[in-house]
Every structure is written in structure tokens, then in C-alpha cells.
Amino acid sequence: MVDVLSQAEKGAGDPAVARSRKWKGSVKYPLGIGALVTGVALSGFLVGIRGLPLWVQLSLATSVVTSLVFLVLVNQMDPGALVPNPVKDPVVVRLDADDQSIENRQMYRRDWKGQWQRKLKNGTVEKYCMTCHIWRPPRASHCSQCGFCMERFDHHCQVIGNCVARCNHRFFVVFLISAQVGCGIMSAGVAYRLQQIGFPQAHAWAHPETLVLLLLNVIYVYMFLMLFFGIGHCFSILCDMTTKDLLTDSDGSRDMPCVGSRSYDKLLQSWVWICCAPMHWKYTMSDRIRSREKEVATKAGRTAPFPGKTGSQASQSSGTPEKLSPPSRASSPETILAPHPDNPSLTVAMSPELLRGGFGRGSAGAMGGEGNAVPDSGSRTSTPKAE
């Protein structure tokens, strides 16, 4: 088992690569979307719904604040990343070596992409990710832009700078719906104000705000229609279907809603599973990776997390101070190497006082830790490091 694990580590490369893995998503686009939402809302308050009842303005303010808050949550929360393993699975190492003695070898085979997959006894098919070194569950997929495998992967949204998966799909839906409601409120408010002015009568064109209101209404209606796919994502949660299921050759079920694996009770379970998913800030992934490294190291029975680490690196990763070894007296400037009087083939390290005062057989033995005898190698002498 130890030999297989060492081969797995060689196949996985330096475990520091897994520890240094970070989120690759950018905040540039989310900041732009936040600025766009704020600007559109300001135009609505200043022009679009100006003078309308207070409840209309409070409704718009609520939808704007909700959309901004959930935009931050979608961008900053962990979408459902699966913690990668620092080393390759020993079973996969043996599979790559075409080892036929693996237990239940018939469970494993390669798919058309060359990925290893295994079929469990309950019929579930799991695929092995060569980047994260994990067997990922059905409907999980590796996102090359974020750098992790995502549970119940839907799609990677460049606009929000993050993946949409199991743990943040609900936030994504609330963001879209709240922004769409805000656009609908502003569009209805502008239409009401145009009616008050007298549009589309001829005298309404003489009003200074008519053209501005018409332009704003075109923008609000366009954004309202553009955000209409937020309702589509509502139905995707209700029917337990992802964008990847619909657009690609996903490993998800092909059953229609309310049938088979998407029966009423299974749909209810999926709603709870998605809407009550755990919440983690995505930048805590480094802590979870370190915990996984310690877990793997403990199973391997090592004192240090992984081979190749120095003492200081191991102590830093384990949280315990490094035990420093005492300095070698032979390398100290207060000692001098000299031939042993009884055995010239050996050299001893002693203090200058003993060298000046002379020493015999008893003196060398009395030095104890002061002298370390080492073999003479001709013109060069060497002293081993102190234990």
C-alpha cells in the first residue's frame, strides 16, 4: 500500500500545487454589473418614478438592495467546489499500470474522453478527475476557469465571476428575479408618468421629459426581457435540471419532471438539497485543502504531511514548533580539529584550552560531548553532524 501511495504521489506531482490552487474568478465583471444596477436604479429614482407614491419607490429600493446583496453572495460564496486530493488515487495508479488484480476490476472503464469511471452497486456512475484527483459524483463537473470540480454544476457565468452550482444556484436565481422585478417596476412607473403627461397625444411631445422617459422605458423593458431567463432558472431548480443537463451530454438523468428519478418525492428531496446547501466563503478552500492533506498524511502514517518537506515546512503545516537540533561543536569557532594522540588516524574536536594544556587517553575520554572522533580522510577531515 505504501508503494502504491508513493507511486500516486509521483503521478500527482508536488502536493504544493494543490495547496497553492486558488480561485481564478475575477471581480471585474461583478463590479461592472453592480455599477450598472446602481446607475439604472438612480435613473429610475431621479426621473423614471419621480413623484410616484412612496410604496412604489420603497418597492424599487427593496429590489435594488436585494439584487446587489445577492450579487455579492453569488460572487463570493463557494458554489459547491469539491475539495481536491493532494495525491492520485492508488486505484487509478494501478489502473493506469493495467493491473488486472484490482478488486472488482469490472467496475472500472474509460469513457470516450479517456477518463476513468466506475459503476457502483447502486448503479451510480462516478468519473475520476485527473486534475483534482477525486471521484466526482454524478452531475459534478470540473470548471477549468475556477480550477475546481463543482457539485451539481450548472454553468460558469463570466458576468458574476463565478460558477453557478449547487451551493449558490439559489442566490443566482434571487439576484436575477430581484433585478427583473426592479426593471418591471421602473418600466411600469415610466409608462404611468407618460400617461400623466398625455402621451401619445401631440401636446405631450412638447414636454421636456417625454423623450427621456421614452428612452428610459426602452432600456427598462430591454433589461426586463433580458433577465427573463431568471424565471427559467427557477424552473430548472423546480424540475431539478441544470443548463449542462439540457445543453450537453451530461451524466444526469434523462427523465422528465415528476417521472422516474424526478418523481415528486425525489424533486422534494432535490429542493431541500439545493435550497439548504451549506454556505462557505470560497476563499476558505485553502483551509479545507490543508485539512485534506493532513487527513491523507495521517492515513499514510507519516510524521510529516508529505515527502520532500523540510522540518520547518512540516512544522508549519502541522501547527507544531520544529524541534531544533543542537549545533555541531566541530563546526563551532570555539573548537579546533586535532589528531588523536593514541590513534593518529582519527581527529577530535576540542577547545583551544585543552589543546594548549595537552591531553592523553583520559583527556579525550573526559571531554565527553566536547570531542567527536571521526575517521581521517587524508588531507581533508570531516566531522559528522551532531545528533
Cell of 111: 469513457
Contacts 24+ apart (CB under 8 A), 341-347: 344/376, 345/375, 345/376, 346/373, 346/374, 346/375, 346/376, 347/373, 347/374, 347/376, 347/381, 347/383
DSSP 303: S
H/E stretch holding 261 reads none
Domain of residue 171: give its range.
17-83+152-246+261-285
Q: Which of the pair, 318 or 214, is modelled with greater confidence?
A: 214
Asked whether residue 379 is domain-assigned, the answer is: no
User: Would 25 be classed as within a structural domain?
Assistant: yes
* Range with lowest mean pLDDT among 264-278, 281-295, 296-310, 325-339: 325-339
Decide if 100 is inside a domain. Answer: no
**Local structure of residue 45 (DSSP, 8 states):** I
Residue 68 lies in a domain: yes
pLDDT at 270 over 80: yes
Reduced to 3 states (helix: H, G, I; strand: E, B; else coil), residue 67 is helix
CA angle 248, 249, 253 (to 5 degrees): 110
Assign 1 a pLDDT band (cuts: 50, 70, 90): very low
Query: Does residue 347 belong to any structural domain of this protein?
Result: no
Measured CA to CA, the distance from residue 178 to residue 157 in angstroms comes to: 18
Q: Which long-range contacts (CB under 8 A, 24 or more apart) does 123-128 make?
A: 125/251, 127/251, 128/89, 128/92
Return the higher-pLDDT residue of 179 and 293.
179
The pLDDT of residue 337 is 58
Is there a domain that residue 213 lies in? Answer: yes
Q: How many Å apart are CA 66 and CA 182, to the nearest integer?
A: 10
The angle subtended at Cα 65 by Cα 61 and Cα 71, nearest 5°, is 145
| Alpha carbons within 13 A on the beta-carbon side of 210 | 14
Q: Is the pTM of this model over 0.85?
A: no
For 13-23, the pLDDT digits (tens) are 444 444 556 66
Which grid coordinates are listed for 33?
454589473
Question: Is residue 139, in this structure, part of any structural domain at all?
Answer: no
- Per-residue pLDDT at 253: 58
Q: Which DSSP symbol is given to 281?
A: B
Determine the Cα–Cα distance for residues 282 and 289; give it in Å rounded to an integer.
12
Q: 480550477: which residue's cell?
A: 147
Digit-coded pLDDT (tens) for 33-70: 888 889 988 988 888 888 888 998 899 999 999 999 99
Of the chain, the percentage scoring pLDDT greater than 90 comes to 20
> pLDDT value at position 128?
93
State the greatest distance between any 2 C-alpha atoms of the chain, in Å, as a whole number: 123
Q: Is 359 part of a structural domain of the chain?
A: no
- What is the tally of structural domains in the chain? 1
Q: Would you state the pLDDT for residue 20?
A: 53
**Contacts (Cβ under 8 Å, ≥6 apart) of 209:** 47, 193, 197
Structure-model confidence comparison of residues 327 and 117, the more confident one: 117
CB atoms within 10 A of CB 16: 14
